[in-house]
Amino acid sequence: MSGNRAHVRRLAHRRGANFSLGFRLLPAAKRRAVYAAYAACRIPDDIVDEAGPEVPRAELHRRLDGWREEIEGTYGGRPGTAATAALAEVLPSFPIPKQALLGLVEGCRMDLERTRYRTFAELERYCELVAVTISDISLAIFGVLRDEATAAGRHLAMALQLTNVCRDVGEDVGRGRIYLPLDELERFGVGEHDIENGQVDGAGYAALMAFECARAREHFRAANPLPGMLEAGSRPAVRVMGGVYRRVLDRVAADPPAAFARRAELPRWQRLTAVAAGLLARPFI
């Protein structure tokens, strides 16, 4: 294994534990491509989320601009990092869309520019940039048999991202962000100050999170046909990745205050259950 391939593989297993359960089930060539694509997607996210508060916002914009240039250079045959070198290796075999990688950068940039979303429509636009772009990248690797896979992939991407939103409320507010739409907080009688102060034990927050988790579940349900629209070798991986996240969503829905206090993770037995369900071609939900 080349050093570049080893680098992106380690990154995927270290930073994408839920995804990597599915990655391991892909055929070797697709697995290498997914590892490279994951690294290329992880880096702009880390530019924003891993920087300390002492890093000026203008510097983070500059780093994102630099990553855009790195993606452009990679598609021009001039990769400059281990991650993009690994990406360049797989581009001749998999038509990973450059615009999706660039769109993801702009989604990460939104985290520098806004910390609140007034409506779900505003949040949905953010999800299009940070999640549906990743679906477009993934489908180029997984192999599409039917045109309808694009729409089904969008549903799975939305389901995964909305699961992240529900799971990470406590983490996100620690970074000064609230992704839950403000008009929905108001509908359920939850104030921004309640989220900011960790006051999430009331009936209003429980009802709000039940509503948010139900919407994510609807996207999982709409994504159920996706694996059958993909090349056979990709189907178990997609089923496992979706199944893992749906189980994470169930844990959040079962105890929202606990998920606020500590990121919901699956115990080993549930991870194994998700793998078994994926191998048996069970639906996401």
pLDDT, one tens digit per residue, over 97-147 is 999 999 999 999 999 999 999 999 999 999 999 999 999 999 999 999 999
Closest CA relative to residue 238, chosen from 133, 122, 138: 138
Closest CA relative to residue 84, chosen from 52, 53, 46, 43: 43
Contacts of residue 280, Cβ cutoff 8 Å, sequence gap at least 6: none
Which pLDDT band holds residue 16 (cuts at 50, 70, 90)? low
Architecture of domain 114-285: Orthogonal Bundle (1.10)
* CA 273/CA 244 separation, integer angstroms: 9
For residues 12 and 35, which has the higher predicted lDDT (pLDDT)? Answer: 35
Q: What are the residue ranges spanned by the domains of the chain?
A: 1-95, 114-285
* CA 229/CA 215 separation, integer angstroms: 23
Do 109 and 174 contact (CB within 8 A), yes or no? no
pTM for the structure as a whole: 0.95
Q: Which amino acid is at 257?
A: P
How high is the pLDDT of residue 1? 45
The residue written with tokens 């598609």 in the block is: 75
pLDDT, one tens digit per residue, over 151-201 is 999 999 999 999 999 999 999 999 999 999 999 999 999 999 999 999 999
Q: List the structure tokens of 262.
A: 């500590």
Going along the chain, which residue ranges are E strands? none
Q: Which CATH class is domain 1-95?
A: mainly alpha
pLDDT above 90 for 64: yes
- For the chain, the average pLDDT equals 95
* CA 139/CA 120 separation, integer angstroms: 25
The domains spanning 1-95 and 114-285 adopt the same CATH topology? yes
* CA 200/CA 274 separation, integer angstroms: 29
